[in-house]
């Protein structure tokens, strides 16, 4: 499986990092080794001093597809979850300056914790109106709603599948709202969809 991540998909987040609003979706990949095994802590990587959380709604692909038309894209996923797109911001800033790829900052081991629970799509009235949030040590740090995505889930699936075949089990991280920030060792992170706890782990 592969993990596809959308960048700059919420206007207020693009602004907080001084990035332009994209005209088409920006995406990058994380390998399977970026998943955090169940009950494992996130191990703070030694090559960074500024690892940030980015809380994101995650879509699980349930059908093989290539060149998917936007109007059929809803048939290619059936579950919604939540994850953290961990980013070594200091490393990413250096790579950005040099115009180099972001993998060192984004694709490292454990950089994509995903909740073990997923919610069937049919339990939502509207997938483009889902509230989600992150608490660090019990305090809310990030809050978002999928209605604020610049590119909705169906647009993302249509766009990405022009370039990359989507396979069953692939995960799409759909971008973070504003409020990203650093984590530190001993922090406890907990993610929610609406009021439901979906993912919890510690930083070690």
Cα–Cα distance for residue pair 168/2, rounded to 1 Å:
10
Residue 114 buriedness (CB in 10 A; 0-12 / 13-18 / 19+): buried
If the CB atoms of residues 85 and 170 are measured against Mg ion, the closer one turns out to be 85
Residue 45 buriedness (CB in 10 A; 0-12 / 13-18 / 19+): middle
> How many binding residues for Mg ion (CB under 5 A)?
3
If the CB atoms of residues 28 and 124 are measured against Mg ion, the closer one turns out to be 28
Cα–Cα distance for residue pair 86/75, rounded to 1 Å:
29
Contact 170, 5 (CB under 8 A): no
Residues 6+ apart with CB under 8 A from 139: none
- For residue 151, state whether it binds Mg ion (rule: CB under 5 A): no
Residue 59's nearest CA partner among 162, 153, 200 is 153
* Binder of Mg ion out of 48, 176, 193, 201 (CB under 5 A): 176
Cα–Cα distance for residue pair 110/113, rounded to 1 Å:
6
* Closest CB 64 distance from Mg ion, rounded Å: 25
* Closest CB 87 distance from Mg ion, rounded Å: 7
* Closest CB 28 distance from Mg ion, rounded Å: 9
**Length of the chain, please?**
204
- For residue 54, state whether it binds Mg ion (rule: CB under 5 A): yes
* Closest CB 67 distance from Mg ion, rounded Å: 25
* Binder of Mg ion out of 35, 59, 85, 132 (CB under 5 A): 85
- For residue 107, state whether it binds Mg ion (rule: CB under 5 A): no
**Which residues face 139 on adjacent strands?**
136
If the CB atoms of residues 54 and 170 are measured against Mg ion, the closer one turns out to be 54
If the CB atoms of residues 112 and 127 are measured against Mg ion, the closer one turns out to be 112
* Closest CB 54 distance from Mg ion, rounded Å: 4
Closest residue to Mg ion in the complex (CB): 85
Binding site for Mg ion (CB under 5 A): 54, 85, 176
């Amino acid at each position: 499986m592969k993990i596809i991540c959308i960048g700059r998909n919420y206007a207020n987040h693009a602004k907080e990092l001084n990035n332009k609003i994209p005209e088409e979706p920006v995406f990058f990949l994380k390998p399977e080794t970026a998943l955090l095994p169940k009950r494992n802590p996130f191990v703070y990587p030694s090559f960074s001093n500024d690892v940030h959380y980015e809380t994101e709604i995650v879509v699980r692909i349930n059908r093989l597809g290539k060149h998917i038309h936007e109007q059929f894209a809803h048939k290619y996923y059936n579950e919604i979850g939540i994850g953290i797109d961990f980013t070594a911001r200091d490393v990413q800033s250096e790579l950005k300056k040099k115009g180099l790829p972001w993998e060192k900052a984004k694709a490292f081991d454990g950089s994509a914790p995903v909740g073990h629970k997923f919610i069937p799509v049919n339990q939502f009235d509207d997938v483009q109106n889902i509230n989600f949030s992150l608490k660090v040590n019990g305090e809310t740090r990030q809050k978002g709603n999928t209605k604020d995505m610049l590119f909705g889930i169906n647009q993302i699936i249509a766009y990405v599948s022009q370039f990359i075949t989507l396979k069953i089990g692939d995960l799409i991280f759909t971008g973070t709202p504003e409020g990203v920030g650093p984590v530190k060792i001993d922090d406890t992170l907990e993610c929610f969809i609406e009021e439901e706890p979906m993912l919890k782990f510690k930083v070690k």
